Amino acid sequence: MKIAFKNTFRLYLLIALILCVNTDHHAQKVIDDRYTDWSTEDQLLSDVNDNGNNLDILSLAFDYDETYLFFRIEFDRELNLNDDNDIRLSIDLDNDSSTGSDSGQVGTDIEWNFGDRYGRVFQFGGFEFLDHEDVGYAALPTTTGSIFEFAVLRSQFYFGFEIRAENTIKAVLEDRRTIGDRIPDSGWAEFSLPEIQESIIMPYSIDKHPNADLRLLSYNSLQDGLFLGDQRDAQRDIIASLDPDIIAFQEIYDNGKDDVRQVLEDILPGNTWYVEKYFPDIITASKFPITRKRFIAGNGGFIICVDENCEQEILLINAHLPCCDNDSDRQDEVDQIISAIRSAKSNPSYDLYIEENTPIIITGDLNLVGEYSQLNTLLTGNISDNNSYGPDVILDWDGSDLYDETPVITNAPLSYTWFNDQTSFTPGKLDFIIYSDATCFSVNSFTLNTNFLSQEELDEYDWDADITSRASDHLPIVMDFNLDNSLDNDGDGFTIAEDCDDTNADINPDAIEIPNNGIDENCDGLDMLTNILNTEIDSFSIFPNPFSNMINIKGHIGQTAIHVYDSIGSLIYSTSSNKSNIIETSNWKSGVYIVEFRYRSGGSSMQKIVKL
């Protein structure tokens, strides 16, 4: 799918939070921080907000394929899942209480301690410590959040034996601090794996897409790896095979733009390369002319002409933000990047001035491992320090936010871009391609990890399976852009800018919605649900809608549960009252919300509401 509902809602979760266990169908899960693949068909254990002022675990959802166990968890507040917490997941992989640990939760085969970033396997009366590579752990988001999804390998090999999840597993998620919450409140949560669930590979093309106007590669070279030892050969082989039109390099400190130009002319002969560098490590290389540039707080802004007559330009910002726990400096640089985009859009005398509808791309190693606010600034234009860097910015040309592509790893349902098995830090999404999807479109994207490629793919490009691991601890991220918004790939009469899936003619804004199939045929952002009784549908009303400071849910609700979710799927209100409910909403942010109703018949429905 091209772009996830740019001008509708991008409701990433919403439907996935209905309590409805049905194992007859599974959508392939991808750890991508989007949650659109979690649905009513998945197994979900919900909990009420019952832990006072302490951290409350609201839900634990589960799914699987032939390789991975997938989990989705939600908390009542924002936290960093991979640091500074005492949250632990215990799993009984073989559903046998006589094996595994006899301490804590009896029958535990493996556990993962999120904040301390280690695990343990329990067998034969003992245990061994595990790291993230041992269990195949990968989670998103890497920033703080209240909703997370992660995967672990379905088969674990310890003490010379395989432990594989079959038929049924049990799990417990708990906060081990004093008065910490757990789900379930007691005992185990049971999840079933009743059928063979083959992995469905997300489509990608290592070769440039035929409808692409340009291919962008963002690559952290890891301390001048393009010029050093085994890294040198690995990186050059990768770049030559990917054949990008524009490369955003980070961490090229000791070599200059002429050195990089010579490398590219050697490995991709027959091209003229335009290369620019900003201190200390930002290098942008392009087959198209770089006509203007500007230093932006340790990062670089570049105007690139992408056609022969320079009638089509793009604004590319190549960034390498401060690492690790340096939230303050990272936010400061992000604020300055957004301020630069404001000037580029509004000030004709500015170095990076662009005409209306010029594509805007922010890419690079953004090191977003702390507060979510930095990513929020890059997407929404909400500047943190307005006194220093001016007012907030409307970033995309249609008045919407920029879009985070999140390229998926080749041949794997994962989306991390950084991996290092020599540290406790877990795989994370550090590298980004963020862009104005009102004016440019993705026709193909991927994160290259050759460890997951088939032997046939490796042979085609003459790669070893570990070439990306030898090259850098950052993976190359690639996106093929189309700059023509009149393109209609599936011939359904809706352009790539209008259609939510321009590869399927049966999906477009005029299509008839088919209920309960997990597909949004008419591009309104939701799949229609009809698993409720008509008498129940008619038993409630919500007014006013749109609303400002309150909403009133009125009617004979009986034992119906009512949940309200915000636009990223976080639960913000819940009640099982059998009376009319007046909900005070003055503290809610403006935007789209979803009210979910659960009925005694076992059905459910949803209604969209909008706060002005």
183, β-bridge pairs: 173
Is the bond preceding residue 391 a cis peptide, omega within 30 degrees? no
**Does one domain contain both 123 and 71?**
yes
Quote the CA–CA distance of 141 and 149 in Å, as a whole number.
8
**Does one domain contain both 339 and 450?**
yes
Kindly state whether residue 552 falls inside one of the protein's structural domains: yes
Neighbouring CB atoms inside 10 A of 526's CB total 17
* Tens digit of each residue's pLDDT (9 = 90 or more) over 261-299: 999 999 999 999 999 999 999 999 999 999 999 999 999
Quote the CA–CA distance of 76 and 378 in Å, as a whole number.
25
Neighbouring CB atoms inside 10 A of 291's CB total 12
Residue 134 has pLDDT above 80, yes or no: yes
* Tens digit of each residue's pLDDT (9 = 90 or more) over 29-69: 999 999 888 887 789 888 876 666 789 999 999 999 999 99
Quote the CA–CA distance of 427 and 31 in Å, as a whole number.
12
Quote the CA–CA distance of 145 and 349 in Å, as a whole number.
40
Query: C-alpha distances in angstroms, 272 versus 175, 201, 208, 262, 286?
Result: 57, 36, 19, 10, 8
Residue 571 has pLDDT above 90, yes or no: no
**Does one domain contain both 183 and 221?**
no
**Does one domain contain both 165 and 102?**
yes
Side chain identity at 169, as an amino acid letter? Answer: I
pLDDT class of 593 with cuts at 50, 70, 90: confident
Quote the CA–CA distance of 308 and 323 in Å, as a whole number.
38
DSSP state, residue 476: P
Quote the CA–CA distance of 600 and 520 in Å, as a whole number.
27
**Does one domain contain both 407 and 304?**
yes
What pLDDT sits at residue 559?
46
Where does a domain end: 417, 451, 482? Answer: 482
Quote the CA–CA distance of 501 and 442 in Å, as a whole number.
11
What pLDDT sits at residue 104?
58
Instruction: Return left, alpha or beta for 467; rule: phi > 0 is left, psi -120 to 50 is alpha, else beta.
Output: alpha
DSSP state, residue 436: -
What pLDDT sits at residue 16?
32
Quote the CA–CA distance of 4 and 11 in Å, as a whole number.
9
Kindly state whether residue 507 falls inside one of the protein's structural domains: no
Kindly state whether residue 523 falls inside one of the protein's structural domains: no
Supply the CATH number for residue 285's domain.
Answer: 3.60.10.10
**Does one domain contain both 307 and 176?**
no
Residue 301 has pLDDT above 50, yes or no: yes
58, β-bridge pairs: none
**Does one domain contain both 435 and 564?**
no
Do residues 1 and 121 lie in contact, with contact meaning Cβ atoms separated by under 8 Å? no
Kindly state whether residue 206 falls inside one of the protein's structural domains: no
In total, how many domains does the chain have? 3
* Domain that includes residue 133, residue range: 42-193
**What is the arithmetic mean of pLDDT over 304-319?**
94
* Tens digit of each residue's pLDDT (9 = 90 or more) over 84-117: 999 999 999 988 888 887 555 778 999 999 999 9
Kindly state whether residue 20 falls inside one of the protein's structural domains: no
Which position has the higher pLDDT, 301 or 553? 301
Residue 1 has pLDDT above 80, yes or no: no
60, β-bridge pairs: 45, 73
Quote the CA–CA distance of 489 and 446 in Å, as a whole number.
20
**What is the arithmetic mean of pLDDT over 165-192?**
91
Which position has the higher pLDDT, 589 or 30? 30
Which position has the higher pLDDT, 5 or 426? 426
Quote the CA–CA distance of 121 and 161 in Å, as a whole number.
12
Quote the CA–CA distance of 78 and 145 in Å, as a whole number.
5
**Does one domain contain both 400 and 541?**
no
Residue 119's nearest CA partner among 77, 163, 76 is 163
The percent of residues in the chain predicted with pLDDT above 70, rounded, is: 86
Residue 363 has pLDDT above 90, yes or no: yes
Kindly state whether residue 520 falls inside one of the protein's structural domains: no
Residue 158 has pLDDT above 80, yes or no: no
Beta strand 604-611 with 189-193 is unpaired
Listed in sequence order, the DSSP H helices in 64-137 are 132-135
Beta strand 313-320 with 299-305 is antiparallel
Q: What are phi and psi of 386, to 5 degrees?
A: -65, -30
Quote the CA–CA distance of 336 and 598 in Å, as a whole number.
46
Side chain identity at 248, as an amino acid letter? Answer: A
Residue 530 has pLDDT above 90, yes or no: no
Where does a domain end: 193, 224, 248? Answer: 193
Q: State both tokens at 204.
A: 């990608």
Residue 434 has pLDDT above 80, yes or no: yes
Quote the CA–CA distance of 268 and 276 in Å, as a whole number.
18
Quote the CA–CA distance of 68 and 169 in Å, as a whole number.
13
Supply the CATH number for residue 63's domain.
Answer: 2.60.40
Kindly state whether residue 334 falls inside one of the protein's structural domains: yes
Question: Residue 126: which H helix or E strand, with range?
Answer: strand 126-130
Quote the CA–CA distance of 278 and 448 in Å, as a whole number.
26
Residue 36's nearest CA partner among 8, 68, 70, 11 is 11
What pLDDT sits at residue 308?
82
Residue 463 has pLDDT above 80, yes or no: yes
**Does one domain contain both 134 and 225?**
no
**What is the arithmetic mean of pLDDT over 222-242?**
97
Supply the CATH number for residue 589's domain.
Answer: 2.60.40.3080
pLDDT class of 380 with cuts at 50, 70, 90: very high
Do residues 354 and 344 lie in contact, with contact meaning Cβ atoms separated by under 8 Å? yes
**What is the arithmetic mean of pLDDT over 237-246?**
98
Which SS3 state, helix, strand or coil, does residue 390 take?
coil
Kindly state whether residue 158 falls inside one of the protein's structural domains: yes
What pLDDT sits at residue 525?
56
Query: Strand ranges (DSSP E) for 176-243?
Result: 182-183, 189-193, 214-220
Residue 74 has pLDDT above 60, yes or no: yes
**Does one domain contain both 260 and 334?**
yes
Which position has the higher pLDDT, 499 or 250? 250
DSSP state, residue 264: H
The DSSP secondary structure of 481-536, one letter per residue, reads EE--TT--TT-SS--TTT-S-TT-TT-STTSPPPTTSS--TTSSSS-----S-HHH
Q: Which residues contact 499 (CB under 8 A, 6 or more apart)?
A: 2, 488, 490, 492, 507, 508, 509, 523
Which position has the higher pLDDT, 500 or 419? 419
Neighbouring CB atoms inside 10 A of 84's CB total 11
pLDDT class of 428 with cuts at 50, 70, 90: very high
**Does one domain contain both 188 and 222?**
no
What pLDDT sits at residue 582?
78
**What is the arithmetic mean of pLDDT over 548-561?**
66
Question: Residue 389: which H helix or E strand, with range?
Answer: helix 386-389
**What is the arithmetic mean of pLDDT over 452-460?**
96
What pLDDT sits at residue 23?
38
**Does one domain contain both 228 and 324?**
yes
Question: Residue 467: which H helix or E strand, with range?
Answer: helix 467-471
What pLDDT sits at residue 17?
31
Quote the CA–CA distance of 118 and 307 in Å, as a whole number.
51
pTM of the model: 0.80
Which position has the higher pLDDT, 451 or 179? 451
Which position has the higher pLDDT, 530 or 396? 396
Where does a domain end: 438, 463, 482? Answer: 482
Q: State both tokens at 605.
A: 């429905």
Do residues 458 and 448 lie in contact, with contact meaning Cβ atoms separated by under 8 Å? no
Mean pLDDT computed over every residue of the chain = 86
Query: C-alpha distances in angstroms, 445 versus 133, 306, 441, 464?
Result: 25, 19, 11, 22
Q: Across the beta sheet with 290-296, what order do the strands follow?
A: 290-296, 299-305, 313-320, 360-365, 431-435, 403-404
Is the bond preceding residue 289 a cis peptide, omega within 30 degrees? no
Neighbouring CB atoms inside 10 A of 52's CB total 9
Over its C-alpha atoms, the chain yields an Rg (Å, rounded) of: 25
